Structure 1
Amino acid sequence: MNQAIHHLRFTKLQKLVVVSILIGFLSAFLGIALKRLTEYYEEIFAHQATMNPLYYLFFPIFGLSVIYFLREYLFKKKENKGIKEIFESTNSKSQNLPNYKISSHFINGLLTVIFGGSTGIEVSTVVASATIGSVAQRKQNVFKEYKTELICAGIAAGITALFSSPVAGILFALEVISRKITKTFLITNLIAVLTAFGLIFILHEKPLFIVTITSWSLKAIPYFILLGILAGFFSVYLTRCVLFFKKQFSKIDVHYHKIIIGSCILSISLLLFPQLYGEGYHSIKELTVNPNETQLTLSIVLTFIGILILKPIVTSATLVSGGDGGVFAPSLFTGAFLGLLVAMVLNTYFSANVIPLNFIIIGMAAVLSASIHAPFTSIFLVCGLTNDYTLFLPILAACLISKYTAKMLYPFTVYTYAPSLVK
């Protein structure tokens, strides 16, 4: 009898290992494909818009219209609700992520960003890769009790593929989705992210940002704390902005009216600040080239403040108009600009002699941590983006401070908010 039970457990473990490898490979392949396609076409379209600013007026309404027609006629009028779809699935035994979520989020995420939608492909990748895990879970009865674990395995592999950080992948699945750790979670997620990381290695995926971080000073700790507090305040502005737009646009009955209004907001903002186009990673790369040489002038201050004020607005307009995405990329983008602005102000007016590049990197992690309430995910994700762990301790401090500052100001994220919770 004991031998039969032992054999059954071993067989189940074997199947879990195989399915985890499969989920890891497929999720990573999807993430890498979406990332490469988005980078390639976004660069082409953004360049065309720079050459002819009329494209800033045409691209957003065209992209959002195509997404609308695809949703209406190809995906049978079924909306994409982002990460909340995953919560609904993991919290219910009967509700599953339907197969079409893989293609719908892949296509809509790509179209949103390349046509100027001011968000990123991270949430699209997360939901699509979660669906891969969900589909695998439904294939055999033996996996029914491991629904959350296999969905998280897909998510962890997808995040690993996007940010070249297996640790960030597992931590995101744990901090944001599962919120509990089991032996099965560890087995499935470790195997999935290692498979994903192996694929990244084979395909020679490079870090998103090539930077050289030399050192940091203990004297800068008070300034890192200040940046963490400011990041917490800013993330609440981002969260409240998204929720406000969702509430206001929900009152509009005709969806194409939402597209027209959202496109107008997006187009005008892009004409004023082309840096807001798409994910914004191209702008972050420009910031990291020679940040020490950036002088604090009135035009620079106005530009940075304008970008920081408008980015949450255009992100919200993109999402409520039917665009696919979330707050990952906007948080990283605004964190970089906030960090550099703080560093320039400190150096110019307070002779702080801080390193601007360090503040760009720490700002990215701090705003993301506060926006999604996941400090450890943010630390390893940003370190993975730069392939450098020199700033690990300052990032840790800033991420924890920003998260708890944000939670004190407003307890919800865009993922956890529900109207019933505030009644």
Structure 2
Amino acid sequence: MKNIKRYYKGAVWLKLIVTSLLVGFLSCTLSISLKHITEHFEDNLLERIVPNKLYLLIFPLIGFTVIYFLRHYLFKGKENKGIKEVFDSVESGKNLPSYKIPSHFVNGLITVGFGGSTGIEVSTVVSTAAIGNIAYKKERFLKKYKTELICAGVAAGITALFSSPLAGLLFAYEVISRRLSKSFIIATVLSVSVAYGLLLVLDEPPLFHVTINFWKWTAIPYFIVLGIIAGLNSVYLTKCVLLIKKQFFKLQKQSHRIILGAFMLSLILLFLPQLYGDGYHAIKENLETANTLSLTLPITAVIIAIIIIKPIITSVTLGAGGDGGVFAPSIFIGAFLGLLVALLVNTFFNAAVIPLNFMIVGMAAMLSASIHAPLTSLFLVCGVIGDYTLFVPLLIVCYIAKITSKRICSYNVYTYKEKLIHAG
């Protein structure tokens, strides 16, 4: 009898190991594909906009309209609800249907490619979670490992997007599971190992090409200030998304949401084309010139406008039916917030800080405050630049930003509904 039980247990663990490896491979493949296809579309459409800004008047309308018809006719009118769908699946026992894979893949691609001011991170998270969900349903032995396999898919997807296996593991733990177990560690570590191995084989470069030479201990007080400001800004981002989406949902007809959203998006992009798509193109440009910038009135006005308007345009994108979340917007806002703080303290306090470093730290701070996941944000940003020189200031600022954010607002965009349920 003991031998039978031991054999059964061994067979279950073996199936979990094999399934985790497969989920990791499939999730990584999907993530890399979505990343490169979206980059291709976004870059090519941006090239059309440079000589002729009139394209900005039609691209958002085309994107929202296509998404509406796909959702209405191909996906039978079922809306995408972002990471909350993953929470529901993990906590309430609901399943993520298989159509979530093509739905989020296609809608995320079209949203960002045609100017929607968000990112593909949430699309990646939900579609890779659906891969893990399908895997657990296919085998009776794996019924009790649903959360582990969903987290395996998500961890591999995040690893592939940001070239950071630790960010993938920590995101699965800090944001999705929030529970640690032997089966969780085995499933996620194996899936992330496959994903990272595939990244090495494909020679995937970091998202941002920068060289961090050093940082100064005298900059710590200013990093702390940046963390506090990022925490405050994350609350503004959260409130914007929740309020503006609520106003859009008051419009009964989806056609009205599309027209209003496309009009607002086009109008804002005409004045601030940096907000087109995920905005990573604008971050890359400013990373290259950050250390040579001087604080002038036009530069200050543009950066402040970007910080204030980005949450609004992201919220409009989501309210009009676009696919995405606050992941990429947080990274984008944080980069420009860090740049502004560095330029201000250098100009008015003669601080002699390095603006490039503040852009990097700002990304992590804002992301940490927005999703309440400091370790994920730390390793994610180290992954996207391929450098750990700023590890200490990143660690300090990520926790300061998160604490500031949670002191003011206990929930974020992903946990808002959850909090309401508990409160009621």
Pairwise TM-score range, normalised by the shorter structure: over 0.9
SS in 2 for 1:54: helix
SS in 1 for 2:416: coil
Alpha-carbon offset, residue 420 of structure 1: 4.3
SS in 2 for 1:289: helix
The yes-or-no answer on 1:408 pairing with 2:407 is yes
Question: 1:277-292 maps to which residues of 2 (within 5 A)?
Answer: 277-292=276-291
Number of the residue aligned with 1:349:
348
The yes-or-no answer on 1:220 pairing with 2:219 is yes
Tell me the alpha carbon deviations over residues 21-63 of structure 1, each in whole angstroms, 9 at most, x when there is no partner. Answer: 1000000000000000011110000111121101111000110
Alpha-carbon offset, residue 281 of structure 1: 0.4
Aligned equivalents of 1:129 and 1:9: distance in 2? 27
Alpha-carbon offset, residue 422 of structure 1: 6.1
Question: 1:113-128 maps to which residues of 2 (within 5 A)?
Answer: 113-128=112-127
**RMSD of aligned Cα (Å):** 0.8
SS in 1 for 2:179: coil
Aligned equivalents of 1:321 and 1:282: distance in 2? 23
Number of the residue aligned with 2:301:
302
Alpha-carbon offset, residue 421 of structure 1: 5.3
Aligned equivalents of 2:202 and 2:387: distance in 1? 20
Number of the residue aligned with 1:313:
312
SS in 2 for 1:51: coil
Aligned equivalents of 2:210 and 2:10: distance in 1? 46
The yes-or-no answer on 1:40 pairing with 2:40 is yes
Number of the residue aligned with 1:58:
58
Aligned equivalents of 1:241 and 1:421: distance in 2? 22
Aligned equivalents of 1:244 and 1:231: distance in 2? 20
SS in 1 for 2:53: coil
Alpha-carbon offset, residue 195 of structure 1: 0.3
SS in 2 for 1:275: helix
Alpha-carbon offset, residue 3 of structure 1: 1.5
* Aligned residue type for 1:265: M
Aligned equivalents of 1:22 and 1:233: distance in 2? 41
Alpha-carbon offset, residue 290 of structure 1: 2.2
Number of the residue aligned with 1:181:
180
Tell me the alpha carbon deviations over residues 116-151 of structure 1, each in whole angstroms, 9 at most, x when there is no partner. Answer: 000000000000000000000000111111111100
Aligned equivalents of 1:354 and 1:422: distance in 2? 44
* Aligned residue type for 1:185: F
The yes-or-no answer on 1:100 pairing with 2:121 is no
The yes-or-no answer on 1:12 pairing with 2:4 is no
* Aligned residue type for 2:409: Y
Question: 1:229-248 maps to which residues of 2 (within 5 A)?
Answer: 229-248=228-247
Alpha-carbon offset, residue 76 of structure 1: 0.3
Tell me the TM-score normalised to structure 1 length: 0.99
Number of the residue aligned with 2:2:
2
Number of the residue aligned with 2:373:
374
Aligned equivalents of 1:133 and 1:47: distance in 2? 37
Tell me the alpha carbon deviations over residues 333-368 of structure 1, each in whole angstroms, 9 at most, x when there is no partner. Answer: 010000001000000111000000100000000000
Report the CA distance shift for 1:211/1:77 in structure 2 as closer, same or farther (over 3 A): same
Number of the residue aligned with 2:322:
323
Number of the residue aligned with 2:331:
332
Aligned equivalents of 1:238 and 1:224: distance in 2? 20
Number of the residue aligned with 1:25:
25
Aligned equivalents of 1:111 and 1:396: distance in 2? 35
After TM superposition, the structure 1 stretch with the greater mean CA deviation from structure 2, 176-185 or 411-420, is 411-420
Aligned equivalents of 1:228 and 1:265: distance in 2? 31
Number of the residue aligned with 1:364:
363
Alpha-carbon offset, residue 92 of structure 1: 2.0
* Aligned residue type for 1:62: I
Aligned equivalents of 1:58 and 1:134: distance in 2? 37
Alpha-carbon offset, residue 246 of structure 1: 1.7
Number of the residue aligned with 2:75:
75
How many corresponding residue pairs?
A: 422
Tell me the TM-score normalised to structure 2 length: 0.98
Alpha-carbon offset, residue 227 of structure 1: 0.3
Aligned equivalents of 2:55 and 2:9: distance in 1? 59
Aligned equivalents of 1:421 and 1:239: distance in 2? 19
Alpha-carbon offset, residue 321 of structure 1: 0.6
> Which ranges of structure 1 fall in alignment gaps of 5 or more residues?
none
Identity across aligned pairs (percent)?
A: 59
Aligned equivalents of 2:381 and 2:231: distance in 1? 17
Tell me the alpha carbon deviations over residues 379-399 of structure 1, each in whole angstroms, 9 at most, x when there is no partner. Answer: 000000001000001001000
Aligned equivalents of 2:378 and 2:405: distance in 1? 17
Aligned equivalents of 1:262 and 1:173: distance in 2? 32
Number of the residue aligned with 1:263:
262
Aligned equivalents of 2:298 and 2:226: distance in 1? 22
Aligned equivalents of 1:219 and 1:131: distance in 2? 46
Report the CA distance shift for 1:189/1:230 in structure 2 as closer, same or farther (over 3 A): same
* Aligned residue type for 1:29: T
Aligned equivalents of 1:399 and 1:57: distance in 2? 38
Alpha-carbon offset, residue 226 of structure 1: 0.2
Number of the residue aligned with 1:160:
159
* Aligned residue type for 2:316: A
